[in-house]
Amino acid sequence: MVSTAKPRWEQAIERMRCRVDQTLESLQSEFPHWAEAATGTWTTTVDGDWTGGAWPGMLWLFARRTGSSRYLDAARLWSSRLEPRAHLQTAFKGFGFYYGVALGDILCADKDAATLALDAAQSLKGQYDPRLGLIPLGGDAEESEDVGNCFSSIDSLQAVPLLFWAAEKTGEASFADVAARHTTRVLDIHMRPDGSIVQSSELNPANGKVVRHFTHKGFSESSVWARAQAWGLVYAAVALAHRPQEKRWMEQLIAGADWWLSHVPPGLVAFWDFDDPAIPNTETDTAATAIVCSALLKLGRLAPSADLRAKYQDAGELTALALINGYLTPVGAGETRSQGMLVGACFNKRRDARVRDSVTNAETIFGSYYLLESLNVLDGLIEAEKI
């Protein structure tokens, strides 16, 4: 077992708190989205885009951790600002309304957050298409192209945590039923037999059959975009936390985690796409790596044997250490940036005119969320499978 360096987790959390404080002071009404690693200046979005919920998510974590009304008030304010997105037709709203809003209920018993999260969950459940057997990306989905009601992606598993939370909050089984169907179908469509994951698919609207696989943000349709692998792992783990009896999901989660661990470079931080021919002279994706860190720590609690639990717990700890030692500022002598920026994320490597958010070596608000969540798990504030 890796020794649990608790003070190290605490110190990293304190570094991230410096950055959260600085971000709080710098923002007006728009949500942090990504920042250039060199400057730390946030690019913001008016309504939060798919990423914005990560920001109140970090504030809820600090509210719970510190008990300070400063973070609680800020979390409530930023959470409420997501309200205009509650009825958008996008599978990705599950991300914002789970981490940005439902976490207010889970971590801080906030009633307004619970009400808003349930409103979004009700709308999200209504996006389920029984012919396709899943929630399609939706006409308002935030990708560069090819979205709508015939398209799916592994990223759309972002719908799953909000729906399972809503099922537990209300006792209405229909939320969990849609979450389970969506999980099964999206994993089956996008996971290859070797445990690697392709990002995107087009479906025949008449019968749900897969027309083609492709990628919105990866290198190619036959490559492994690091965040495709990461999203598949973390949401398979969340789904299993709610339905531990689903053997197929567990087999897929273990296959996907083992694929990651046997392909990630020795330093444990992934390149943006595992098949970029320029490797090692290409960009890392610390956001993908932080998402996988969260998934490994969950698997460290959920895997079916003590040996497997120890294996994935150790891998999660080592991944967190790789991120905080190599990519969480300060990362070198003479550092002038704020402490606690997780740099080295690749939001989008593609640079053609239709692509949004083409930026590499960035700090992303969602990558930072998953590292902060993982550190709070390692530090013992929250249990990995409860979030």
Rounded to a whole number of angstroms, the minimum distance from the CB of residue 226 to ligand GLY is: 9
Residue showing tokens 């608790």: 6
DSSP states of 367-381 as a string?
A: HHHHHHHHHHHHTTS
Distance, CA of 312 to CA of 307 (rounded, Å): 9
Taking CB under 6 A as the criterion, the residue among 64, 93, 217, 242 binding ligand GLY is: 217
Distance, CA of 42 to CA of 338 (rounded, Å): 12
Contact 323, 290 (CB under 8 A): yes
Could you say which residues in the range 131-160 bind ligand GLY, by CB under 6 A?
Answer: 155
Rounded to a whole number of angstroms, the minimum distance from the CB of residue 99 to ligand GLY is: 13
SS3 200: strand
Rounded to a whole number of angstroms, the minimum distance from the CB of residue 142 to ligand GLY is: 7
Taking CB under 6 A as the criterion, the residue among 64, 85, 182, 227 binding ligand GLY is: 227
Residues in the chain: 387
Rounded to a whole number of angstroms, the minimum distance from the CB of residue 216 to ligand GLY is: 7
Rounded to a whole number of angstroms, the minimum distance from the CB of residue 217 to ligand GLY is: 6
Burial grade of 245 (CB within 10 A; 0-12, 13-18, 19 or more): exposed
Q: Which is nearer to ligand GLY, 105 or 155 (CB)?
A: 155
Burial grade of 177 (CB within 10 A; 0-12, 13-18, 19 or more): middle
Using CB under 6 A as the binding criterion, the count of chain residues that bind ligand GLY stands at 3
Distance, CA of 228 to CA of 301 (rounded, Å): 23
Q: Which is nearer to ligand GLY, 11 or 282 (CB)?
A: 282
Q: Which is nearer to ligand GLY, 137 or 378 (CB)?
A: 137
What angle in degrees, to the nearest 10, is found between the helix axes of 226-242 and 247-263?
150
Q: Which is nearer to ligand GLY, 49 or 110 (CB)?
A: 49
Could you say which residues in the range 149-208 bind ligand GLY, by CB under 6 A?
Answer: 155
**If binding is defined by CB under 6 A, does position 363 make contact with ligand GLY?**
no
Contact residues: ligand GLY, CB under 6 A: 155, 217, 227
